[in-house]
Structure 1
Amino acid sequence: MTAIAPLFVSHGAPDMILGHSPARAFLQDLGRRLPRPQAVVVASAHWDSGRPLVGGAARPDTLHELCAGARGLCQKRYGAPGAPALADRIAGLLVDAGLPASVDRERGLDHGAWAPLALMFPDADIPVVPISIQSRLGAAHHLALGRALAPLTDAGVLVLGSGGITNNVHASHGRPVDAPCPEWVSRFQEWLADGLAAGDPAALAAALERAPGRRENHPTPEHLMPLFVALGAAGPGAAVRRLHASVAHGALAMDAYAFNPLATGGSAAARSRILEDVA
């Protein structure tokens, strides 16, 4: 069975799937290049809870929590099946790691989950299990949450973090998708890229609050936390590859990353092929 490298993608504005942008084209192409996963476990910035919750619905609903003003978005449906047994296993992994997790049998897929998946896997035939973040607990907590999910990658499960490299919605509002970005966006974008390339996730998590422009780019922290879930799922020594970089609406950096878990079991050759598939 092919191991699947954990990924982080930026899902952007709610109507990203309706228009044309470099990030939308990238996500469509990414899905065609990836090995087909057995299932997708997606940590979305839009499911933020006090403690870890795992979606265990057999047929998750398509949630439209942010579709106001986006014509056609509320009619979109993503009918991927759930995986209740996998949800139970994930909750067990989290509990074993000391995280007080439980399964929510009713939770659907919010737009942070279904919108990128609709572009990556439009046939909606791969089981999807959502998992919540706890943004108030910070980046180190999400690294630990991701590390608990690491065994899934060798079982052919894609651990996907869906958030935003930057997410100042107020600054992006009303601006065209190809609007130029201010220096405070690009500076944070490159600071984060350099921090990921340095290969020390714990140091990056600790330094996050001191990042240049952190408050301007993330007035609230939830859109960065899924990145640390995906990074943690790759385990120690993960090779980081930046798959895409662009900015939408002037203030939404849409970068995507693969975290190749070269140091956590399986053959290096097999894991290297994962990155070749998304080159």
Structure 2
Amino acid sequence: MSTETTPLPPLFVSHGSPMTALEPGAAGAFWQRLGQALVASFGRPKAVLAVSAHSLTREPVLLAAPRHEAIYDFGGFPDALYRLRYDAPGAPALAERAQALLAQAGIAAHRLPEGGLDHGIWTPLRSIFPQADVPVLPLAYVPSQSPAQQFALGQALAPLAAEGVWVLGTGSITHNLRLLGRFNGTPRGDDAEIPESAAFRTWMQSRASARDWPALLDYRAQAPHAALMHPTDEHLLPWYVAAGAGGPEAAPLRLHDSVTFGALGMDAYAFGPQAARLAQALDL
């Protein structure tokens, strides 16, 4: 692939509830600005390699279909949500390249001619690239592997940043759905954040700013309220894939922080040496 473009900073975004597609809120407004800033500073990506908390497998799988459609992998929402579409081109050639890079790192990955974008992917992309004109390659990952293994997965994919590929991890900086109904039994987007969520998000931001990778990789033992904020950690693990793609030398930068339903963090982070350039483009 060509290396003519400035390397793109890998990102992690918290995708939140599927309703963000209809009710964007602060995170949705940030996603719109993010897409504009990314294109203005780095040019339009040749493709997005997306690692989502909702595409999970026993071994890494690259979904190399020539075209994707939105998957409505949720239930109980308004009909209007199921009428939204996000039909994006796929990236079969990128899948072959990514598979080769993973193999070089000793990571066996499957490449299948199948498609579909789960809501963790299409919900933010619908705001970031609303024309659905950037090819997308979903990479389903192994949720039983550790943060260090996810970081290594991202490191294997790091060369793609210099080839015009945007590595995007999507999950949630805090994710315990059982907490979202504790306010009068009906969660609302404007609920005040619970202290445990605030403490966890603050710890992640402070350890990231300090480049304290040993603590970050051991977050379940060291972060406050880690098990409460992530009873299972599949929604945080894409953070580590994006971090690995950016590399350990530059401090991760938090580009956005907000909370919905009192405990569902919507933070976004950029990684790697180009993260500061993106933050500047966003006037942060």
Which ranges in structure 2 are unaligned for 5 or more consecutive residues?
none
Shift of 1:224: 0.3
Shift of 1:68: 2.7
Q: Deviations over 1:124-172 (max 9, x none)?
A: 0000001112111121110000001100001121100100000111211
Which residue is equivalent to 2:167?
159
Q: Deviations over 1:157-190 (max 9, x none)?
A: 1100100000111211431101001100000010
Do structure 1's residue 69 and structure 2's residue 81 form an aligned pair?
no
Q: Partners of 2:102 and 2:212 in 1: how far apart?
A: 23
Residue of structure 2 aligned with 1:223, choices 230, 235, 239: 235
Shift of 1:20: 4.0
Q: Deviations over 1:84-122 (max 9, x none)?
A: 010111111111111111112113110001110001100
State the SS of the aligned residue for 2:169. strand
Which residue is equivalent to 2:57?
49
Q: Partners of 1:94 and 1:48 in 2: how far apart?
A: 17
Which residue is equivalent to 1:17?
21
Structure 1 stretch displaced more, 91-100 or 119-128: 91-100
Q: Partners of 1:20 and 1:101 in 2: how far apart?
A: 34
Which ranges in structure 1 are unaligned for 5 or more consecutive residues?
263-270
Q: Partners of 2:56 and 2:11 in 1: how far apart?
A: 19
Report the AA paired with residue 149 of structure 2. H
Shift of 1:272: 4.9
CA separation of 1:163 and 1:5: change in aligned 2, threshold 3 A: same
Q: Deviations over 1:203-229 (max 9, x none)?
A: 411243332111111111100011001
Is 1:140–1:205's contact at 8 Å kept on the other side of the alignment?
A: yes
Q: Partners of 2:197 and 2:112 in 1: how far apart?
A: 36
* TM-score normalised to structure 1 length: 0.93
Report the AA paired with residue 129 of structure 1. L
CA separation of 1:51 and 1:202: change in aligned 2, threshold 3 A: farther
Residue of structure 2 aligned with 1:251, choices 239, 263, 270: 263
Report the AA paired with residue 244 of structure 1. H
* TM-score normalised to structure 2 length: 0.91
- Map 1:114-263 to 2 at 5 A: 114-173=122-181, 174-261=186-273
Aligned residues: 271
Q: Partners of 2:215 and 2:195 in 1: how far apart?
A: 24
Is 2:210–2:251's contact at 8 Å kept on the other side of the alignment?
A: no
CA separation of 1:52 and 1:19: change in aligned 2, threshold 3 A: same
CA separation of 1:239 and 1:212: change in aligned 2, threshold 3 A: closer
State the SS of the aligned residue for 1:261. coil
Which residue is equivalent to 1:94?
102
Is 1:67–1:74's contact at 8 Å kept on the other side of the alignment?
A: no
Do structure 1's residue 26 and structure 2's residue 26 form an aligned pair?
no
